Amino acid sequence: MLIRVLYLSVFLAAGPAASASADDARTLHRVADEYFEWRQHNDSLAYPPLDTMARLSHMPVIPDISLSAARRAGRVAGGWLDVLAPISYTALSHEDQLTLDVLRWDLQNYAEAARYYWLDFPISVYGTRLAAVHDILTGYVFHGQGDAGRYLALVLQYSVLIDQMTDKMQGQLARGIVMPVGEIDVSRRFIASLVTEPRNSLWYVTSERLAQLPADQSQRFQDQVRSAIERKIIPSLRRMLAFLDGGYRTKAPTAVGLAQYKDGAAYYRWLVRFYTTEELSPEAVHHMGLAQVARLEAQLAAVQSELGIPGGFEGMRAAAEKVPRLHARSSEEVGERLNAYLRRIEPVVPHFFSKMPSAPYAVRRLGPALEGGLTFGYYQDPTPASPAGIYWYNGSSLDHRSMLTAGALIYHELIPGHHMQHSFQVDNEALPAFRRYGGSNAFDEGWATYASDVAGDMGMYTDPYDRWGLIADQLMVATRLVVDTGLNALGWSRESASEYMSAHTFLSSQEIGTETLRYSSDIPAQGLSYATVSEKIENIREREKAALGDAFDIRRFHDAVLLSGALPMPVLEKHVHWYLRQAP
């Protein structure tokens, strides 16, 4: 009888708390689901910059980039933050705690982003949302007439997006915020490359892609798309080009960097937090970069001695230009060499990771319209239309494009870098949809930079030339910390940034030109993600190794970092500590 009374007392005492905990979890799950659904229909490619829609190859609507939409997004995000505020964090399961942490991080970024609306240039080559939109449209799958109708609606909306971008630049011009001259030239070439004969445009749909439609419907649909391109898209692009070539260009500054604009310094500090997920000042990041550069140059000197190359850094630079093995003779050879590095690492992966990615991967050459504006290339996630993850490499200007860093580059982009991270995340069906298909630039680029480094632990840099390449790649990443903060917060000119990069990296003058525009005009502070987050992941690993000793398992550590999706660094650190102390 006493046992029954005690049991009843415990049940009654625990009941309300358990009920409250369940209510909190249900509220959290509801907001997470609503947020994911909202992201698909509202500003789906804006802050924070997720690849959600590209990964799903799905876009119900073209994003609205108007100021009113940005403000509306902020209000919606603020409302959800209010709903989440009363939730008891300690009453949630560990996985729900991660969901709450990430959701609050995302929503806070949305809530704050509108105040800096006018400081983001909409057509910068690296920063524009057009690239993701193009990936989705060119990968669109047609199963029936309904898909054709949805695609046509997107094509018609695309012209609205272009006009919104022109309107935004007009509003920026009125506020004295104009892209620097060099950035206008690069961005204009990108926009001009889109003005082409409708049948040759990226929006046109070939008959092969319409095999599921009856022939008469296919032809009628193609005629409708061609008409939309001729009547809507091309005129909107020409209006933008006319604007760029008119009064906008005459007001373009020769100076670069966010600090020259009203509220630019505050925006840059916000971006530093956004792209590092930590509370770091531009000055602290700058000094971090200087320290990393000094450490790496000491390592480079050791490799130089091993290779017997005289003449200090300049001697290494000269050798990088003259050694035949460091240059490809054709764009096809670039792809072959990248693939050779992948074949080398694949057998070693099971010793460091619990599994291989489920999705296949490949390397392909960039289209000519993008090769002039991108220093290297970019990774594209698998989609239903294109199931392989692809690294699009730059195969142009081979006489100025060294293969020195090819190994470090492809380990960053595919295995064990971006492709492995994204595949592990998407394969985890237990994650809420916004975490499974979302991400953060900080985590993505930080992990990929860490991945190219951990490839050394996997035996990929035993050749001193490959080790040289890794150090050269890490020097580039470290100089980003110095140059990005210098350009946007410390008053550096583009010339000063170029001189610094020339003195401390193996980049060509052409590559330095695109990189300095990228930091100062395209996506300021984005370049800070690579080295800051990579160093954080490495620091977490070393602390856990010291604490766990022989019980530390590198595969378990990598599972802890990757399987829960992209986490802000303070959240990741707590999660890894918890995960490694759970039973396998």
Does residue 46 have a pLDDT over 80?
no
pLDDT at 321: 85
User: Residue 18: which pLDDT band, with cuts at 50, 70 and 90?
Assistant: low
Query: Is residue 53 classed as helix, strand or coil in its secondary structure?
Result: helix
Greatest mean pLDDT among 286-300, 355-369, 382-396, 506-520 lies in: 286-300
pLDDT at 9: 42
Does residue 425 have a pLDDT over 70?
yes
State the SS3 of 442-470.
Answer: HHHHHHHHHHHHHHHHCCCCCCHHHHHHH
Does residue 566 have a pLDDT over 70?
yes
Does residue 324 have a pLDDT over 80?
yes
Q: What pLDDT digit, counting tens, does each position of 522-544 carry?
A: 999 999 999 999 999 999 999 99
User: Residue 13: which pLDDT band, with cuts at 50, 70 and 90?
Assistant: very low
- Sequence-distant (6+) residues with CB within 8 A of 95 are 430, 564
User: Residue 5: which pLDDT band, with cuts at 50, 70 and 90?
Assistant: very low
Q: Are strands 378-380 and 389-393 parallel, antiparallel or unpaired?
A: antiparallel
User: Residue 16: which pLDDT band, with cuts at 50, 70 and 90?
Assistant: low
Query: Is residue 382 classed as helix, strand or coil in its secondary structure?
Result: coil
Average pLDDT over all residues of the chain:
90
User: Residue 11: which pLDDT band, with cuts at 50, 70 and 90?
Assistant: very low
Higher per-residue confidence, 508 vs 58: 508
Phi first, then psi: give them for residue 353, nearest 5 degrees. Answer: -135, 150
Q: Average pLDDT for residues 200-208, to the nearest whole number?
A: 94
Residues in a beta bridge with 393:
365
Q: Average pLDDT for residues 336-347, to the nearest whole number?
A: 97
Q: Which of 159, 296, 285 is nearest to 232 (CA)?
A: 159
User: Residue 47: which pLDDT band, with cuts at 50, 70 and 90?
Assistant: very low
- ∠ CA(82), CA(83), CA(88), 5° rounding? 105
CA-CA distance, 500 to 465, in Å (whole number)?
24
User: Residue 511: which pLDDT band, with cuts at 50, 70 and 90?
Assistant: confident
- Chain centre distance of CA 382: 15
Structure token digits, residue 96: 């729900």
CA-CA distance, 483 to 85, in Å (whole number)?
39
User: Residue 52: which pLDDT band, with cuts at 50, 70 and 90?
Assistant: low
Q: What pLDDT digit, counting tens, does each position of 457-479 carry?
A: 999 999 999 999 999 999 999 99
pLDDT > 90 in the chain, percent = 75
- Domain borders along the chain are 266-536
- Chain centre distance of CA 71: 24
Q: Which residues of 530-546 are buried (b: 16+ CB within 10 A; e: fewer)?
A: bbbbbbbbeebbeebee
Its pTM stands at: 0.90
User: Residue 55: which pLDDT band, with cuts at 50, 70 and 90?
Assistant: low
pLDDT at 4: 42
Structure token digits, residue 539: 């620091």
Q: What pLDDT digit, counting tens, does each position of 90-140 carry?
A: 999 999 999 999 999 999 999 999 999 999 999 988 888 888 788 788 888
Q: What pLDDT digit, counting tens, does each position of 366-404 carry?
A: 887 677 666 678 888 887 777 899 999 887 877 778 899
Structure token digits, residue 70: 């940005």
pLDDT at 57: 58
Does residue 2 have a pLDDT over 80?
no
pLDDT at 49: 45
Higher per-residue confidence, 4 vs 70: 70
| 3-state helix vs strand vs coil in the chain, percent to 5 | 70, 0, 30
pLDDT > 70 in the chain, percent = 93
CA atoms 375, 381, 382, 386: torsion sign? negative
pLDDT at 373: 63
Which CB contacts under 8 angstroms, 24+ apart, belong to 574-581? 575/94, 575/98, 576/540, 576/544, 577/544, 578/94, 580/544, 580/548, 580/552, 580/556
